[in-house]
Every structure is written in structure tokens, then in C-alpha cells.
Structure 1
Amino acid sequence: MGEGSRLRAKTANFFVAWVQRRRYYAIIAAALIVVTVGLLFFARSLSDYGKNLSLNLGADLIGTIVVLFLIAPFLTKADRLNEAVLDRFNHRAFIRQAAGARHQIKIMELWTDLLQGGYQDEFLAALKEVLSRKVEVRILLLDPDARAAEQRADDLLQQTDVVDNILDNLRVLNEFKRDLPEHMRKYLDVRTYKALPPVQMYRVDDHVIVSFYPVNMTSWNAAQYQTSPQAQLGQFVGTKFDELWDARSTRWLDQFWSLTLEDEQGERYETRFVTDDEQIYVSGRKIVERNLRSGIDGMPVWIVNGNSKGEVHRSRRYLLTPLDQTSADLAVAIDHFNRKYGDTHQDVILKVTASPE
């Protein structure tokens, strides 16, 4: 066999192998060619067939050239600009970006130092500006009572007080939301979640910044991945955000600061509360004042709670027990109240204990 014959055979084999690897595409292409030829054949009876065909083919060719040589390079460049790896989180850049938001801002974090130190005033001013423009702001922070807070503190070698940082964020957001006008307040939604997410997310419209939680380092000091909601990473973190946002264990900001108790007569009490592991303590002055005659010790109550889905749950029965000065739980409860609410607690403290019945 001559050199030319071997080359032709090799080319033919390569073409056959290429078609076999892409047989589905080849079948679709063949079907499209058949349909196109059929349409052209049936259109031959039209007047000025040749002119119309040339005109349409010419227009399609021009469109193809424009897409290939003008639009496609621009989109490719835009994609490259949108996908990037940053050394660390740029707080000032995000605040500027947030101030220009048109549709939405979403944050999923344990806590954020945008609400602390030198960033707080500037960030809150940016939030207030976009809320006045009816931009939806959703913030997810870790529940400081969740075990995940202890887990993250261990990751940071106990050198960062995770719980205090989260509490500080929640206090700032609670005061900020409380002081907003009603027409702006409805666009700000803050929730706390229980499970530690695999990533943090900061999103403004179609710009997303993602980071993972490294050991021995806060996430904003680690590498940041700039992406878009349409990219694979952007879709992943967007799904995680939505899952946590609507999880049954997720609570609204108001629910973190107060607990609703209901007595046997159906009267409800909004109280401050803290937890120590599974033990609940409530601030009970109003409860005591309304039950002076019957007494408080052993008083049955039920916890009425809701979740982010709007589901309202009435717990099993609990019993209230006042803590006196000799109680071993008193110092623990006072410490938790002072830490959570940021002031010296002077109120009556009641222990909420599950009823044995």
C-alpha cells in the first residue's frame, strides 16, 4: 500500500472514530441537514426563490460573524472578569458594591466583621440606602447557642470568641432594624440557623463571593472565590443558602431575643430567655406579677414557637421554678443573660423544666 493510500485509510478511520464518539451529535446534525434540505426544496416554488435564499443566508452569515468575532470575545472576557480568586475578603469593596445594589443582598456567615469596628457605620449606611430603594436584604448568621459555634471556636483554637462575635452582630442588627422606618424594615430579614454551612457567601445582585472555613483562620482572611449565580459554585452556595433560609430549625431575629410562654388559661408571656445546653431560663417579672395569688413554683407552661416556614408549634408541658439566691443555677443564668442582652440583669429568673407527666 502506498503512502497516499495509507494516509487516506488513516483519515477515514479517524473520521469514523470521531463520528462514533459523537454519534448523538452526528445524528442530530444529519437530521437538521435533512430538514433544512427539505424546507429549501419545498420553498423552490416561491417567487424570487434565489434572491430570498441569498438574502436570508447573507443575513444569517452576518449574524454569525458578529456573534463569533464581536459578541463572543466580549462575553468570554466578561466571564473571565467575573471569575476570580482573591487573597482575602475586601470589606471596603463589598460595601461599595452593596451600596449600589439594585435587587438583592444576601449574606450567609457565622458572623461578619462588616458589623464591627471601622466597617460598621459605613456598612449600615449602605444597607439603609438600599433598603430605601426597596432592595431585599437577607442575612443568615449562626445561632450562638448552636453546637456549631463551639465547633468553630475549636477550629480557631479558642483564640476567637465566636459566641460573643455572633451576639454582637445580632444586637447591632436588632437595634438597626428596630430604628428603621416601617416601609424600609420589611425589606430587611435576618435569621439564625443551627447547622454549620460548608461555605460563607456574600452576594450583591449577580456578584457572589464565596469562601470556605479554614482551620486556625477566619474565613475573610482566607482565599475568596468570586463567581456568579449561574456558575457551578454560585449555584451550589445559592442552594445551601436557600436550604438554611427555609430550614425548620431556622429562626427569625425576633425569635432569638424573646420566647413566648403560654399558661393553662391561654395567656401568653413574651419573655427574655437564655439557654445553657438544653436548660432554658426566662426573665420572669411579668409572669410573677400576674400570678401573685396562685404562685409561680411548679406553674405549668407551654412554649409557643414558630419557624421560618410560618409553622407554629406548641411544646410539651414545662414547669416554672424560681431561682433563689442559694441556687447553683443562678450565677450561670445571670452570666448568660448579661452576655446575651449586654446589660446587668436585675430581673427575676425562672427555670423552665420539662414536666415529668
Structure 2
Amino acid sequence: MMKPWYLLAGMALAGIAVLAWANPVRNLEAIAVNVGTGLVGTALAFLLLNYYLPRISNAYGKRTEGITYSAIAANIARSRYRVRILSTFVYPLTSHSDYRELHDEFVNALATALRANGRLEVRILILDPASDAAKQRSEERDDDVIRRIRENLLAFHRLRSGQEVFRRIDVKLFDRLPPLSMFEWDDRASMSFYPRNKAITETSRFDFSTSTPLGTFMDDTFDDVWTDEKTRALDDYIFLHLRFRHFSTVDHRAYYVEVDGRTWVLLNRERDATACAVVSGHAPGLEISMVRDEQVVPCAYAVRDDTAPLRHAAKQKYGAFDADLVVEIDRPVAS
């Protein structure tokens, strides 16, 4: 296929030859000047169009067939000031055999971007596994969606509890049915609607600039979900903030599970040494309260020996059951 530059040069030479033949002597110099000027103008116009047209098209967006997590990881690694993810979950941080090899690639991309840019903002919205929306999405997929979400949340918790650089990753859980999935890096983004019985990597996506009206709308949508009153922080999913009051007041964050509307606090003698000592001492007059949104709510409680009902739930949420002491937190005490 002939290249555009060759076509331009051929047309210009042909024009010079024809005009020169028409009046070979008298006007040759003027012809050369005019054609030369026209050629320069045409070349500049071609250069500008060749340079800017693809960028104009790229700014307004283009449709693509699916997206790979390797591509997402590469874009994250190059990010300078912002990474945003709105999704049911992300497969590389699950135990799914098809994506296991992508775990390190995805984590390393986050680490690379965070280390290179001290002001990089990383915000991730994952669907709340306890929400009705998660149950609905689970019914639409062959995969165990709720399990994958829990694996994601535990993976992000472990990352944030490990290397200091990962503590800058801000993760929240949202409870409404997501209208779409979105991956955003700096001024570029990619979105897709949720197909029935398909992963988001198997459906068409739309790549666009965040400076477009669509980009503004998507940013507003993300911010709306992020600040929704029912959206909760990852730490509120992992921990229950308790206040123990006896001779002194001790605040403590403990692992917990909720089974059949009942809340069970899982205390480990190494991880929760002070709380275990206070509760196992059967101190008379001990009060336990839940602290939520800066409100202190006194609760009835009881130490339980039968842990069978919650072992499975604990393994699903934390990967293992390692509690030495289990405390059931009952409904708030009437004032």
C-alpha cells in the first residue's frame, strides 16, 4: 500500500511537470514558487491532520472488545496522580485459577505507581458481599461472586497491613447494584456495562478521556457512590470497634462475623491480648460497647463455647478460624 507521503510527493511533481509543459520558459520560475508554496502548505496541513485527528478521536473515546487485567496493570503502573476502580471485584486478587498468575503483576503495578508518585490517589470501590446487589450479581454469574468479593477484600486488607506503601490504597464497599464497571488512570478511563453470565473482560468496553462530558459524568458517579452514607470503609468490614470499660477504658478493633443476624467477636490471645485478658477475667461490672460513627452503643454480651456455627463464616471472611475466645455481642442495651 502506498504511503501518504509518497502520494503527496508524486502529486506535487506531476503538477509541476504539467504546468511547466504548458509554458515551459516564461512562467517556470513563478510556477515553481507557487507550487512550492502550495506543497509546503499541503504538507503542513497533512502533518497537522495526521497528528491531531487520532488524538481528537482518542479524546472522545473508542469502543474496544474487552480488556485484559494485564493492560489494566500496565496503565496503573504508569499512573502519576490518580487510580480509580469501580467494580464488583478484580479477578487478580482472587484464588481463581485462570487469574492466579496475574496476582503479582497487578500488585506490582500498584506498588510501582505508589512508590514513583507520593501524591498518587488510589481509590477502589468493591461491592459489599452482604448487600442484596451482591446476591443479585451472584445469580447472574456462574462463578461464586460473593466468595470472590470476600477474597478481594481480604487481599486488600493484607496488602494494607503489610508494606507501608500499600496503606495509601483507600478501599470502600458499596451496597447498590453497580451501573457499570470503571477503571481510571490519570486522564484516561475504560468502562463497560455488566453483562449477564459474563466477566467484564469478556464484554465490549468504551475507552475515553476524563476531560470529556462522559468523563465528568463518570467522575461524578464515582464520587456519588464513594460518599454515599451506606458505603463503608474496608476497615469497618474487617474490624468491629469495641470499647471495654471496667476500672479503665480500652478501645479495641477486633475481627468479627455476622451469622443469622448475630454478631460474634473473634479474639485471639496474641492479636487481641488485652481484650482477651479483660473478657476472660470475668471482671464484675465489665461493660462492652460498640463504637460506630463516633457513637458509643452499650451492648449485652456473652462468652460462647460453641463455635461451630461461625467457623465457616470466619474462614470465608478471614481465610482461617484462629479465635481463642468468642464473644457474642447482642442487641444494644436499652437505655
2:126 aligned with 1:141 = yes
- Cross-structure match for 2:278: 290
Tell me the CA shift for residue 128 of structure 1: 0.7
| Counterparts of 2:288 and 2:137, CA distance in 1 | 34
Choose which of 208, 211, 214 in structure 1 pairs with 2:192: 211
How far has the Cα of 1:323 moved from its partner? Answer: 2.3
Question: Is the 1:199–1:237 Cα contact (8 Å) retained in structure 2?
Answer: no
Alignment of 1:1-357 (within 5 A): 74-82=51-59, 83-116=61-94, 117-134=100-117, 135-156=120-141, 159-181=142-164, 184-185=165-166, 187-265=168-246, 266-276=249-259, 278-284=261-267, 286=272, 287-294=275-282, 300-305=287-292, 312-325=293-306, 330-355=307-332, 357=334
Cα distance in 2, alignment partners of residues 174 and 269 from structure 1: 17
Could you give the per-residue CA deviations for residues 167-216 of structure 1, whole angstroms, max 9, x where no partner exists? 211222222222223xx345322222222221111011111100111222
1:230 is paired with a residue whose SS is: coil
Segment drifting more, 188-197 vs 99-108: 188-197
Once the two structures are superposed, residues 93-128 of structure 1 have per-residue CA deviations (whole angstroms, 9 ceiling, x without a partner) of 222222111221111111001324121111111111
Q: What's the TM-score once normalised by structure 2's chain length?
A: 0.74
- Alignment check: 8 A CA contact 1:303 1:315 kept: yes
Aligned 8 A contact 2:111 2:166 in 1: no
Q: Is the 8 A contact 1:107 1:203 kept in 2?
A: yes
Write out per-residue CA displacement over residues 276-314 of structure 1, whole angstroms, 9 at most, x where no aligned residue.
Answer: 354321114554521445459x96422113xxxxxx332
Distance in 1, matches of 2:122 and 2:171, equals 8
Give me the whole-angstrom Cα distance separating, in 2, the residues matched to 1:145 and 1:314: 23
CA distance in 1 between partners of 2:333 and 2:199 (Å): 44
Query: Residue 138 of structure 1 aligns to a residue in which SS?
Result: strand
Give % identity. 24
Seen in structure 2, the aligned counterparts of structure 1 residues 105 and 288 have a Cα distance that, compared at 3 Å, is: closer
Letter in 1 for 2:236: Q
Q: What displacement does 1:321 show?
A: 2.0
Q: Is the 8 A contact 1:258 1:270 kept in 2?
A: yes
Q: For residues 232 and 45 of structure 2, what CA distance do their matches in structure 1 show?
A: 50
Answer yes or no: is the 8 Å Cα contact 1:197–1:240 preserved in 2: no
Paired residue type of 2:91: D
Tell me, what secondary structure is at the counterpart of 1:263? strand
In 2, Cα distance between the equivalents of 1:108 and 1:224?
14
Equivalent residue letter for 1:193? F
Shift of 1:264: 4.0
When residues 113 and 355 of structure 1 are mapped into structure 2, their CA distance, relative to the original with a 3 A threshold, is closer
TM-fit CA distance, 1:230: 2.5
Query: What CA deviation, in whole Å up to 9, does each residue of 1:197-253 have, x standing for no partner?
Result: 211110111111001112222222221111121233322221121112222333333
- CA 1:351–1:132: 2 relative to 1, 3 Å: same
- Calculate the TM-score normalised by the size of structure 1: 0.70
What is the alpha-carbon distance in structure 2 between the residues aligned to residue 292 and residue 92 of structure 1?
Answer: 49
